[in-house]
Structure 1
Amino acid sequence: MKKINFKNFLNTLYQNHALAYKIVLFIVTAFAIVYMFPKGGHFKYEFHNGKPWQYENLYAPFDFAIQKSEQKIDDEKKNITLNKKQYFTSKEGVIEKVKSEIENDLTDKSQDSILNNYNIPRIVKYSNNLISAIYKYGYINESDVNRVEDKQLIALRKGNTISDLVFDRFLTSSEVNKYLENNINDSRYKSLSNFLIPLLKQALEPNIFFDEELTDKILQDELNKISYTEGLVTENERIISKGDVVEGEKLRILNSLQKEYLSQVWNQSNYNWIVFGYVLLVALNLLMLLLFLQKYRPFIYENNTKVTFIFFNIFLMVLLVTLVVKYKVDYLYVIPLPILPIIIKAFFDARLGFFTHVLTVLLLGFIVPNSFEFIFLQIIAGIITILTVSELHRRANLFISISQITLVYMIAYFAFSIIQEGNMEKINWQYFIMFALNGVLSFLSLFLILIYEKTFGLVSDVSLLEMSNTNSKLLRELAEKAPGTFQHSMQVANLAEASANEIGANAMLVRTGALYHDIGKMLNPKYFTENQTTTVNPHNELSPKDSAEIIINHVIDGIELAKKHRLPDRIIDFIRTHHGTSLVYYFYKQQENENPQDLNVEDFSYGGPIPFSKETAILMMCDAAEAASKSLKEPTAQLIDDLIEKIVASQMANGQFMNADITFKEIQIIKKVIKKKLNNIYHLRIEYPE
């Protein structure tokens, strides 16, 4: 019994493998995003410098210290660093060493003729007095002279004692030389100056040295003593009233309360609850995306590769922002977030691109500082991206669009800065450089699009441009085997492209789809009137039902051909939807007249699905209109107008545009374009004289 249940479970899992994959993808993405989130809570109040307090009166929930501003702490550190005391060390034993060396030198040279008339012990005593006078305050190392300014108070360490001295009391090497020359030349030993001065210069050595290690240690101790707080807010003390402007002291107190919350309220004991809250919010965010796809983009929702692609791009943006916030938050606005809507729009549509961008920005609001400002700037940038970026195969268009996005970034940030600071003096102009870098990096979208095309098997406008080349293998084959169908496809492509341009749809996509929509007719070209060059009609040999089957099968044959030649799904969508669920009306009526008892509507109906985008709806209208216009023996403007109205009205009545996300106004515009184009095609030419 257990084996049977397990087998049933496997069968159920296999039948619902697509749903199971989405559930796994949903869970993995949600936990991956939460893993990157900062593991701490969020202060429940949003406030900004220079803006009114929007909440009720706020009272201190507990005692807390007021944190000093970063500027004040930096000023204190700079002041301590600038006024730090320099520490010098007196080297012990130098005086005794120099005196001993001089005494030994004089004793060794006592037999020299220059010293014959002098008492050596008295010269030694005189030299020792000079040495003692020089070392009374100290002889400083020449390389340490520039360590301090003139007359600055320094600290001198002798053994275990430290005393303060004025720096200029130390003698330098030049001052020592001058001192020796002046004293010896004014003494009774003037005649020995050429002997004594070099002797003493050679023996004397500095005994005062800069003590960098001690100086740095004392400085660090002073910096560590800086207090990061000033003042205290007691429990239940009013911090700010509703409507008060958040600035100055109130801003510092609010910042202090926020930091205190982060350090006290959110700790390890409630870490799991915080993670649980993040999981719920991220899961809700991703669920909204899945529900949107299921309701408004079912063809994307049913394709797990496309769903994976969208989730991957969301995760990639969250990862980039997380890394920058963690390691170098100052460069937050260098991250080219507009790449996300550009890519989603390139592969799918503008509405999905903007929806995905907004959900991603809301997720990033948990990570970034100044979340309100960040979310506002990024959503505005996303709107401009969706409105301006089009026809990516034209690089000039992308350059203009990204320039506009960058400009909007700068204007929005400038406005925020003025509101928060109250003037232009404190604007951080480096942000404008970052916005410019953001724009430059946004051009990476073209590179990413090429990678995604190969990785996920998607198609963009750049690929569509290549596919729309009529010299491609499949279109050349269509032109050879079914020249009439090829000409029909060209005409439909022109009509569809013009219509798409008028209503703001993807003109390159609908043109390419139109070129390939009838490739299935290559297999039986003579059964389609546009390819019949003689009066012989092969349908005369068939029953209406068989004829209808051949006509209907050109859609299925087209799908198989497209898959064989690896055409992307976006193009195959045009093949499978260009007739929707409509009737093969001619043979249906023929069967109704000849054998009504054996009449089954399903035998004469295309299998669908009906169009599910503006582009596929445009193709359906243009295809039917172009084909029907060939039946007009003497086309006039009125006949063409009536024909188009009748065709489109019939398609609407049969519910062919129910899922196409197209408005009545857009349908009216498309009809006008088709009428105008067909009138231009069938207009009467003047008769030239022979």
Structure 2
Amino acid sequence: MKTSKVHEDRSDSGRQPAESGHSSGGTASPAVPDEPPLPSAETPPPAVVPAAGCRFWLRRYGFISLLFFLAWAYGSILISRRHAQQPSFLLLEAHKTQTVRAKYPFTYRDLSQAQARKAEAARKQPAVFVLQEENIREALNAFRQRLAALAEPGKQSPTEQSPAEQELRTILTNGTAAEELLKIVRETMSGGIRAENLPVLDCDRTDCQCRARIISSDGVFERRYQTLLTLAEAQKVIEENFSRSIGHSGLDLSLLWSDPVWQPTLSYQHQESRRLQEEAMTAVSVPVRQFSPGEVLVTLSDEEQAILEAYEAANPHQDSPWWQDLDFGRENIIRILLLAFFIASFVFILCRVRISPASLRQRLTVSAIALMLHFFLVHFFVVLYHRLGLPAESLINFLPLALVPALMANLFDGRTAICTAVIVAIAVPLQVEVGVFQYQFFYLSLFTSLVGVGFFQYAKDRRDFIVGGFALGLAITIASILFCLDTHMEWSEIQSILPSILVISYSNGLLMGILVMALLPIFEYCFGLVTLSTLLELNDTNHFLLRRLQQEAPGTYQHSLNVAAIAEAAALAIQANVPLARVMALFHDIGKLAQPHYFAENFFGVDNPHDSLSPLDSAMIIRSHVEAGIALADKHHLRHSVRQAIEQHHGNSLITYFYQKAVQEAKASGQPVPEEQQFRYQYPLPQQKEVVIVSLADACEAAVRALVGRPTDYQSILRKAVSAVTPAIREGTTDQKALLEVCVSAVKDETGTVLTPDTILHKINEIINDKWNDQQFAQADITTAELETLKMSIQKTILEMHHFRPEYPGTAGKKSQ
């Protein structure tokens, strides 16, 4: 049963706050009484202040409700998008129950494949040409005569000649230039000039490797078909080479190409080329495939694949605006309502689960934003999956299913993360169109998400995140293989795609580890959360504030270490956040750095400075260390949870020592009794159990430390005992038992200030009961059963700190010497 939450609270009190700086239990009684019982669960709780109606609810939870509505609306929009299914999913869905397998062995002759191979073999055969050398000689003779005619003085006047003809005549008057042109023409024609169009050949592709076989009087040689020149190409080559040789660019030789003897010099031999092709096709053997029982007989044909690709490409909603891409048909409406139901259930569970150190507002806000992040990432990766054209079996290991559950596990706890993993696994089949494989996607998504929760919940450094990424990659690989087996894929097929599955799965796992590690500080900073890695950093006693505390207030530093040890054991006993409780304890009194000499644990051989102050001034100084601690926490950017511990560990408790001192002085002087409120801390009550642990550990450690007293207290007790037994010794009494009874009778009033196991247990019970009666835990998320466990743990730890030992042998002899 939880303690009741109220707004008007009381606090505990301590024996000597001026010495400890904390409110602790009441003044010790002369004798140690029986252990007072802890208030039972049946104790009637105080009345709860009612909420201020709808306005209060909207002010407290309106923004969170808006966030969850936005998450639901965003998920609904993604559900309503009319995206075509991936063709591979369509195929798997259509053939899931129509797969034909061989029941007996047989041989299959693939004639279509043989035909394709024959066509390829025929295409690789060279085209046969004969070089027409007689035509070359005739063409050269005619070309020579044409050059000679151009070199002679023209019968026409220069004004009747075109500029190109005048330029050419001028160049050819040089006999060397004419011989050079004739040489270039001879080389080009001897290399072979083919006809413009040869329809029997398919060598127009840039990657064509077709060969040409040329038969001449000098023999037979082969060359690439694309290197054979046409008439136009040969004319261009001659013009370029001649222009380059005479150093004259842009020369026009079109006057030379009008001669009818300028014809192709290669004659295509159709019959010979066909004979070579037929011989090559005859040499091709028909592919034969042996089928054994159990092998799949029906596979996706190229035509079917092309049809499915065309179907996906023809999707009319691919490039349309998203608001025109919504489909609120019956099926999508059902999915949207299911999503609303599951999100509402998720919110209800979050409200019922107690999580430390996060408050209800924090976990609801972060959960809503995490859901929107999950919807966005799944949508982004699905779009990327479609763009990359990956096969169906790659979708399960491509989606970031474990990111949000792993993030929630590290930010909150395992219970919240498991709830998140379930809602994520449910949302994936609603958001992603997977045909008949919704059930497989649900349980495989849940499997990978739970693995992420298990490995990332306690991740605190880079090594943990990398190991978690590899473990998640292994889980995704297993999920992918199970999906393939569930879709009736043969093991041989799985082995063929296993390398790609491994690459995508482990890339996904490592990416999730990196994203979780990158997002954690962002969520911590934005929402005031604290993670395990941050707690481990703050747990370092070399922190700047703790080193200052050690140097400037060594007594407070030792007190904080003791409180941290007590709080750590207590948190472990009730399964609270152990690292958080320890960090809270280490930093809870950093405000004493402002005026360390006013706190009793820092008195070292000096007088009490409070003796010269009024009780009210002393109470204000004691109380001010909380405000100073909050200022230091803000200045050094301590986490919100640690700041809460600094602010709430005293609650609104009474500074009893100075209040009682003020009352005594007022009565002695005949003045009115001061108001109790003036001597109270003015800060919120503890809200979470870790702050309750620190509050109890702080008060109990200070009160027990006050029991030890100062050396002057022990000297006073010793003098009183010696004074009591001296007369009896002088009278000659030698009975040791009688002398001991005299000593005990003399100092019995001081036993409450002596550190014994009984006084320690009594003081701890007194502190816890006073805090309960003062309603300091009325707003805390802690039960009476947990308080009982805390009491037992604190008693055990403090007794272990102040353990008692027998005197070492020889010590008495040395003292007497």
TM range (shorter): 0.5 to 0.7
Cα distance change, pair 275–176 in 1 and its aligned pair in 2 (3 A): same
- Given the alignment, which residue of 427, 430, 433 partners 1:363? 427
Q: Name the structure 2 match of 1:338.
A: 402
Amino acid at match of 1:365: P
Q: Name the structure 1 match of 2:802.
A: 682
Q: What is the 5 A alignment of 1:454-469?
A: 459-469=530-540
Q: Name the structure 2 match of 1:205.
A: 268
Q: Name the structure 2 match of 1:320.
A: 377
Q: What is the 5 A alignment of 1:378-397?
A: 378-389=445-456, 391-397=458-464
- Rounded Cα–Cα distance in structure 2 between residues aligned with 1:655 and 1:535: 37
Cα distance per residue 1:461-519 (max 9 Å; x no partner): 33434434444443333334433222211221233234445555433332222121112
Cα distance per residue 1:517-551 (max 9 Å; x no partner): 11222334344322233574444555655544443
Alpha-carbon shift at residue 627 of structure 1 (Å): 1.5
Contact 1:300 1:307 in 2 (8 A): no
- Rounded Cα–Cα distance in structure 2 between residues aligned with 1:478 and 1:472: 10
**CA RMSD, 1 decimal:** 5.7
- Rounded Cα–Cα distance in structure 2 between residues aligned with 1:653 and 1:414: 61
- Given the alignment, which residue of 536, 544, 547 partners 1:476? 547
- Rounded Cα–Cα distance in structure 2 between residues aligned with 1:224 and 1:399: 43
Q: Which moved more, 1:295-304 or 1:324-333?
A: 295-304
Q: What is the 5 A alignment of 1:590-601?
A: 598=673
**2:563 paired with 1:443:** no
- Given the alignment, which residue of 606, 612, 615 partners 2:690? 615
Amino acid at match of 2:699: A
Structure number, greater radius of gyration: 2
Identity %: 27
Q: Name the structure 1 match of 2:78.
A: 36
TM-score (norm 2): 0.52
Q: Name the structure 2 match of 1:567.
A: 638
Contact 2:470 2:509 in 1 (8 A): yes
- Given the alignment, which residue of 614, 625, 640 partners 2:700? 625
- Rounded Cα–Cα distance in structure 1 between residues aligned with 2:135 and 2:480: 79
Q: Which moved more, 1:627-636 or 1:418-427?
A: 418-427
**2:561 paired with 1:490:** yes
Contact 1:290 1:301 in 2 (8 A): no
Cα distance per residue 1:337-380 (max 9 Å; x no partner): 43434433444444444444443443333223334333333434
Cα distance change, pair 599–350 in 1 and its aligned pair in 2 (3 A): farther
Q: Name the structure 2 match of 1:577.
A: 648
Cα distance change, pair 349–105 in 1 and its aligned pair in 2 (3 A): closer
Cα distance change, pair 504–436 in 1 and its aligned pair in 2 (3 A): farther
> Any unmatched runs of 5+ in structure 1?
1-11, 44-49, 51-65, 110-137, 145-171, 182-201, 211-220, 229-266
Alpha-carbon shift at residue 575 of structure 1 (Å): 0.9
Q: What is the 5 A alignment of 1:140-539?
A: 203-207=266-270, 223=303, 271=328, 310-328=367-385, 330-368=394-432, 369=434, 370-389=437-456, 391-399=458-466, 401-402=468-469, 405=472, 421=488, 429=498, 431=501, 434-444=504-514, 445-452=516-523, 459-501=530-572, 504-534=575-605, 536-539=607-610
Alpha-carbon shift at residue 572 of structure 1 (Å): 0.3
Contact 2:82 2:325 in 1 (8 A): no
TM-score (norm 1): 0.60
Secondary structure of the corresponding residue to residue 801 of structure 2: helix
- Rounded Cα–Cα distance in structure 1 between residues aligned with 2:139 and 2:594: 122
* Structure with larger RCO (C-alpha < 8 A, sep 6+): 2
Cα distance change, pair 139–18 in 1 and its aligned pair in 2 (3 A): closer
Alpha-carbon shift at residue 388 of structure 1 (Å): 4.8
Secondary structure of the corresponding residue to residue 333 of structure 1: coil
- Rounded Cα–Cα distance in structure 1 between residues aligned with 2:57 and 2:75: 29
> Any unmatched runs of 5+ in structure 2?
1-53, 86-91, 103-107, 141-197, 205-210, 221-264, 278-300, 309-323, 387-393, 709-753
Secondary structure of the corresponding residue to residue 271 of structure 1: coil
- Rounded Cα–Cα distance in structure 2 between residues aligned with 1:27 and 1:474: 43
Alpha-carbon shift at residue 578 of structure 1 (Å): 1.6
- Rounded Cα–Cα distance in structure 2 between residues aligned with 1:433 and 1:440: 11
- Rounded Cα–Cα distance in structure 2 between residues aligned with 1:299 and 1:494: 19
Contact 1:518 1:558 in 2 (8 A): yes
Contact 2:425 2:442 in 1 (8 A): yes
Cα distance change, pair 67–464 in 1 and its aligned pair in 2 (3 A): closer
Alpha-carbon shift at residue 331 of structure 1 (Å): 4.3
Alpha-carbon shift at residue 645 of structure 1 (Å): 4.2
- Rounded Cα–Cα distance in structure 2 between residues aligned with 1:600 and 1:355: 50
Amino acid at match of 1:496: A
- Rounded Cα–Cα distance in structure 1 between residues aligned with 2:686 and 2:332: 43
Amino acid at match of 2:802: Y
Cα distance per residue 1:399-432 (max 9 Å; x no partner): 5555555555556666666666599677574545
Contact 1:40 1:274 in 2 (8 A): no
Alpha-carbon shift at residue 630 of structure 1 (Å): 0.4
- Rounded Cα–Cα distance in structure 1 between residues aligned with 2:413 and 2:462: 19
Amino acid at match of 1:36: L
- Rounded Cα–Cα distance in structure 2 between residues aligned with 1:141 and 1:319: 54
